[in-house]
Chain A
């Protein structure tokens, strides 16, 4: 599991790649939480290369999103694969965090 952090126009973009299962979350959670929770700008998370999203991955997004929201920040997920979107919808994660179709839509939500 890899996480790549990149500053884009007025936001922090995190590109995750691999399987967000127990092991995958263990690989990236510390860095993700540290970078995202302390971000002064909205955070958009690219899920296009995430092959699988397990409950611990969902927990990582919710917990980090809550910390960001508490200080007025935003965490936006975008471009999930069909399989990952299915998991997001089943778990109701899209009722907790915004999920955008692509990066442009995510940035629009970030600056909206």
Chain B
């Protein structure tokens, strides 16, 4: 909302000689004009900075792989200076600058220049950009929302544990929040007696509300601060969370959870899941589901949560993930299921970027836009 530039008191003449004093907010015309004036923007639809919005300045915007392009897209298929987008009155015109791989508008290769309609999608290399037209007010609101989401992402990311590298246990993880920000959170660490705990939660829904809920749960788990609860007992931990976070008292939000406690001395894993798909254990070439059936956290009061036990062989790896890693629609318009993702487990172990990052890259490559709808959270625990 625009702030008043000045506040004055006026005394308008009234019939009968009476005057009424009232306060008037005087807004400068420039603010009204700025609010009414519409700006053209390009929204990055896919890639690591999906959701980012770039205003097209009056002098136009050159898009390319390196500066001096105004919008730099570090993509091997983008030419150094690839295309120019200019505003002419109410129109936006895109012109290819002789790029190697071409500029495409709604799938059609651009020959010279062409007008872009609002909503049109521009493809440059592998990157997709959509034209938007916003008022100054909408633009500021959008920027404020983007900042809120970015702050929430930074907060969640700051709470995630550093990867672990000990002789008995190693971890790697990948957390890629979606543009709308889901409610994923995860963590791991050691109890005082040397046992290792690892957990992942996924709050239903998207946005700052889901993220806040996830952060509240994660902070309790990180600080081992569940009241009267043995953090080494997965069933007790989930039961306590179920008591602390009933849906009815938390804006109808529930979450799914997977919680495991591993004893390196005995190689025994005790685990419990609540509304969450199993974790997966890779031992040699054998893949096994590790989970128990319980309802999600917050939905039913007074529940006991079933616990499972599994012995983990030497060299085994445990894969724990949110549904965002497999709930995608691929290039063939086919909706993936859990088994599509589990078929990839172990296939990228030797990837120089790490298996978790390689799995993210592989899944993302299956999505036509390259942008995932939900958070991608994956934790891999290796047990030499």
Contact yes or no, B205 A90, CB < 8 A: no
Contact with B along A76-112 (1 / 0, CB 8 A): 0000000100100111110110000000000000000
With beta carbons under 8 angstroms apart, the residue of B206, B252, B274 that contacts A92 is B274
User: How many A-B Cβ pairs are below 8 Å?
Assistant: 55
Q: Which residue of A lies closest to B180 (CB)?
A: A22
Task: Tell me the smallest distance from the CB of A82 to a CB of chain B, in Å.
Answer: 10
Interface residues on A, range: 20 to 34
Instruction: Judge whether A35 is part of the interface by a CB distance below 8 angstroms.
Output: no
Given the known inter-chain contacts A92-B293, A95-B295, please indicate yes or no for A59 contacting B204, CB distance below 8 A. yes
Contact residues of B between 253 and 279, Cβ < 8 Å to A: 253-254, 256, 274-277
Contact residues of B between 174 and 203, Cβ < 8 Å to A: 202
Given the known inter-chain contacts A22-B206, A90-B277, please indicate yes or no for A59 contacting B254, CB distance below 8 A. yes
Contact yes or no, B252 A59, CB < 8 A: yes
Contact residues of B between 201 and 248, Cβ < 8 Å to A: 202, 204-206, 247-248
Instruction: Judge whether A40 is part of the interface by a CB distance below 8 angstroms.
Output: no
Instruction: Judge whether A5 is part of the interface by a CB distance below 8 angstroms.
Output: no
Contact yes or no, A96 B277, CB < 8 A: no
29 example contacts (A-B, Cβ-Cβ < 8 A) are as follows A51-B335, A54-B327, A55-B204, A55-B256, A55-B323, A56-B204, A56-B205, A59-B252, A62-B247, A62-B252, A62-B299, A63-B247, A63-B252, A66-B247, A66-B248, A86-B337, A89-B293, A90-B275, A90-B293, A91-B256, A91-B295, A92-B274, A92-B275, A92-B293, A92-B295, A92-B296, A95-B294, A95-B295, A96-B295
Sample of 17 more A-B contacts, CB < 8 Å, known A62-B252, A93-B295: A22-B205, A51-B335, A54-B327, A55-B205, A55-B323, A59-B204, A62-B247, A62-B254, A63-B247, A63-B252, A90-B275, A91-B275, A92-B296, A92-B299, A95-B293, A96-B295, A96-B300
Interface pairs A-B: 4 shortest CB-CB? A92-B295, A55-B204, A91-B275, A95-B295
Hey, which bits of chain A sit against chain B, CB under 8 A? Answer: 22, 51-52, 54-56, 58-59, 62-63, 66, 83, 86, 89-93, 95-96
